[in-house]
Amino acid sequence: MAASTEKTIVVDDLRLAYSTREVIHGISFDVGRNEIFAIIGPAQSGKTSLLRCLNRTIDFVADASMTGTVLFEGEDVRRTRDVFALRRKIGMVAPLPVGLPLSIYDNVAFAPRCAGMHDREELDGLVERCLRQAALWDEVKDRLNSLGTALSGGQQQRLTIARALSHQPDVLCLDEFSIAIDPVTTMRIEDVLKELSREITIVLVTNLVQQARRLAKRTMFMWKGEIVELGVTEVVFSDEPADRRTYDYVHGIFG
Amino acid sequence: MTAIPASGERVRTRLPGRRPLTILGERALEILIRLSGFSAIFFVLAIFFFVFREAAPVLFTSEFDPKEFLFSTQWYPTSERNVRYGTWALTFGSVAVTALAMVIAVPFGLGAAIYISEFSGKKQKEILKIVIELLAAIPSVVWGFIGLTVMSKLIVTLTGAPVGVNLLNGGIILALMSIPIIVSIGEDALKAVPDSYREAAEALGATKLQMIRRVLLPAARNGLLAAVLLGVGRAVGETMAVLMATGHAVQIPHGPLDSVRTLTANIAAELGEAAAGSPHYRVLFLTGVLLFCITFAVNLTADMAIRGLRRK
């Protein structure tokens, strides 16, 4: 399995229901330190809900109820004392870009400022580094003070990636980040992700199965709130995965 | 989809043609809507015209001095020997009462709007909104009555002021009257901020207060500004409550415990006494024009402020 023996995230028998409708039916898996972990699966299979359980943004959904345990660095996220600190440690990039109605600079500096960083030089350096990592710096360096929401969809998406990196998370969750980005930029960001995975753990939810194949050490195939298969990416994408459905999905036969 | 017949003939579904009556009806409706749009402009101009027409003759008489009218504090419209029409004290009274009211109403109003939109539970929200709307439905004469009786006694006991009907009293009453407007418009503005902003900010590790200060308020600032300015509009134009609560003394106040008179209250109190067509009567109409100009200036500033913010 994963080369690293340390586990950043351990999920045990996680169940999630929206009012009475259960969408995740007791799944267990773990993510090793500094690995890229891909989650694939068709729509409505609970991928996004799963991510939202990790950093407790599921709290925003009023009728969601979650059971089981999610351990992050050995700490149960549901019992964590400081949920804000937890969210800073687990960065999240949503599928549709949500630019805050602030300037580009302020968008990236938002989280560090909330965490109490106010030194202008330090912030300048951090903003530049994050924008460079998100492959956006060259396009916006001359207009850092214009409104972030005025960027194009793809640029906004990269802005949210820069923003998610700005609080120097230990885990970066990307939820179908490439939906609004052209293939060339996608490849640039994928390179960045590979680079980043030396230092941080990346959980990647993707609809592009080839993206999972390119990046991930291990891949998990989810379907209707259950894990169909979880294994080393080469095996999942081989001609003989453990489950027939995996083969069908990966090869585009599956509905 | 229509199945294509084997012969390859095109099958067309015939849409029923529009009947001439429908077209005519649509035209008529369009004209009607356009008329109601233009009528708003027409009415504003007409009101201005008629008020000004009543006031205009006095402008050309020898006893009227525009400088005195605007900047003198001497208001003796019924003096036998030396008639003076100075409205500066009235203008100052209007501005002072409004300013005091806003100092009280804006923090409370916006605070309540933020609480209702961000912190209260579903049931609490409903109750609060209904009660605040009820507050907006209280007639202004009832507010004036409360100012005259309850509030004035309270002010006398608490501050030791000689009279309870004064600038402070009027300010508090006006604040209470504008708060419901500020709350309900402000709450609408906050509600219009997409939830995704809130979630994005909190997903970045912002606490609720950080989220409100750094994201919600900047995003909703145009709407919040509109809420405040509507409150100002209500306070400037309010007549009955300030007539009853401010003491109705023509003077420049030296503190919140002095009595004042406002432009609106002055018109309401004196117009019935003034003989139609007399200089006094015409000057009162001119005071109306002045009031009109003040509210127009407030609205224009607001408009420009909002535009300026938007461009930024």
pLDDT for residue B5 is more than 60 = no
Residue B223 half-sphere exposure toward CB, CA atoms < 13 A: 19
Query: For chains A and B, what is the number of CB pairs under 8 angstroms?
Result: 63
Residue A2 has a pLDDT of: 41
CATH number reported for the structural domain that contains residue B233 in this entry: 1.10.3720.10
CB distance A87–B205 less than 8 Å? yes
Closest to A84 (Cβ–Cβ): which among B195, B200, B205?
A: B205
Contact assessment for residue A70 and residue A76, using Cβ atoms and an 8 Å cutoff: yes
pLDDT for residue B42 is more than 60 = yes
What percent of chain A is helix, strand and coil (3-state, nearest 5)?
40, 25, 30
Tell whether B252 is covered by a domain: yes
Residue A5 has a pLDDT of: 54
Q: Strand A75-76's sheet: what is its strand order?
A: A21-32, A7-18, A64-72, A75-76
- Give the Cα separation of A200 and A35 in Å (integer): 8
pTM metric for this prediction:
0.79
CB distance A110–B203 less than 8 Å? no
- Give the Cα separation of A184 and A212 in Å (integer): 17
What distance in Å separates residue B312's CA from the closest CA in chain A?
8
Worst-scoring range by mean pLDDT, A52-66, A152-166, B170-184, B294-308?
A: B294-308
Tell whether A159 is covered by a domain: no
CB distance A92–B203 less than 8 Å? yes
Closest to A114 (Cβ–Cβ): which among B198, B200, B206?
A: B206
Interface of B with A (CB under 8 A): 195-207, 210, 214-215, 218-219
Number of domains in chain A: 1
- Give the Cα separation of B174 and B152 in Å (integer): 14
Tell whether B85 is covered by a domain: no
Residue A61 has a pLDDT of: 85
Closest to B197 (Cβ–Cβ): which among A87, A96, A101?
A: A101
Tell whether A144 is covered by a domain: no
Measured between beta carbons, which residues in chain A are less than 8 angstroms from residue B201?
Answer: 100, 110
Measured between beta carbons, which residues in chain A are less than 8 angstroms from residue B203?
Answer: 55, 57, 87, 92, 94
Closest to A111 (Cβ–Cβ): which among B198, B199, B204?
A: B204
What distance in Å separates residue A99's CA from the closest CA in chain B?
8
Residue B311 has a pLDDT of: 58
Domain hosting residue A203, numbered range: 7-98+171-250
Residue B9 has a pLDDT of: 60
Residue A244 has a pLDDT of: 86
Closest to B204 (Cβ–Cβ): which among A60, A87, A96?
A: A87
Tell whether B148 is covered by a domain: yes
CB distance A57–B199 less than 8 Å? yes
pLDDT in tens, B262-279: 999 999 999 998 898 888
pLDDT for residue B124 is more than 90 = yes
What distance in Å separates residue A169's CA from the closest CA in chain B?
10
Which residue of chain A has the CA closest to B195?
Answer: A60
Domain hosting residue B218, numbered range: 94-262
pLDDT in tens, B22-33: 888 899 999 999
CB distance A115–B205 less than 8 Å? yes
Residue A76 C-alpha from the chain's centroid: 19
Interface of A with B (CB under 8 A): 55, 57, 60, 84-88, 92, 94, 96, 98, 100-102, 110-111, 113-115, 160, 163-164, 166-167
- Give the Cα separation of A133 and A199 in Å (integer): 13
What distance in Å separates residue B124's CA from the closest CA in chain A?
16
CB distance A114–B204 less than 8 Å? yes
CB distance A167–B204 less than 8 Å? yes
Tell whether B304 is covered by a domain: no
- Give the confidence band of B81 by pLDDT, cuts at 50, 70, 90: confident
pLDDT for residue B144 is more than 90 = yes
CB distance B202–A163 less than 8 Å? no
Q: What is the CA radius of gyration of chain B?
A: 27
Residue A254 has a pLDDT of: 63
Q: Closest by alpha carbon to B77, among B280, B263, B264, B216?
A: B280
What distance in Å separates residue B213's CA from the closest CA in chain A?
11
What distance in Å separates residue A109's CA from the closest CA in chain B?
11
CB distance A101–B219 less than 8 Å? yes
Residue B52 has a pLDDT of: 92
Q: What is the pLDDT along chain A (255 residues), one digit of tens a residue?
A: 344 457 889 999 999 999 889 999 999 999 998 899 999 988 888 888 999 899 888 888 888 888 999 999 888 888 888 888 888 889 888 877 777 888 899 999 999 998 888 888 999 999 999 999 888 898 888 989 888 888 887 788 889 889 999 988 999 999 888 887 888 888 888 888 888 888 899 999 988 888 888 999 999 999 888 899 998 998 888 888 888 888 888 888 765
- Give the Cα separation of B247 and B86 in Å (integer): 19
Which residue of chain B has the CA closest to A56?
Answer: B203
Which residue of chain A has the CA closest to B310?
Answer: A147
Which residue of chain A has the CA closest to B200?
Answer: A98
- pLDDT mean over B91-111: 95
Contact assessment for residue A202 and residue A193, using Cβ atoms and an 8 Å cutoff: yes
Tell whether B229 is covered by a domain: yes
CB distance A163–B204 less than 8 Å? yes
Tell whether B132 is covered by a domain: yes
The alpha carbon torsion through B189, B193, B195, B201 (nearest 10 deg) reads -120
Worst-scoring range by mean pLDDT, A99-108, B104-113, B140-149?
A: A99-108
Tell whether B207 is covered by a domain: yes
DSSP code of residue A90: E
What distance in Å separates residue A164's CA from the closest CA in chain B?
7
Measured between beta carbons, which residues in chain A are less than 8 angstroms from residue B199?
Answer: 57, 60, 98
Tell whether A135 is covered by a domain: no
Interface test mutation site (partner A, options B122, B199, B204, B209, max chain A beta carbons within 10 A): B204
CB distance A114–B214 less than 8 Å? yes
CATH number reported for the structural domain that contains residue A24 in this entry: 3.40.50.300
Q: Closest by alpha carbon to A30, among A55, A52, A53, A2?
A: A2
Worst-scoring range by mean pLDDT, A143-147, B61-65, B87-91?
A: B61-65
Which residue of chain A has the CA closest to B216?
Answer: A101
Measured between beta carbons, which residues in chain B are less than 8 angstroms from residue A163?
Answer: 204
Number of domains in chain B: 1
- Give the confidence band of B7 by pLDDT, cuts at 50, 70, 90: low
Closest to A110 (Cβ–Cβ): which among B195, B204, B207?
A: B204
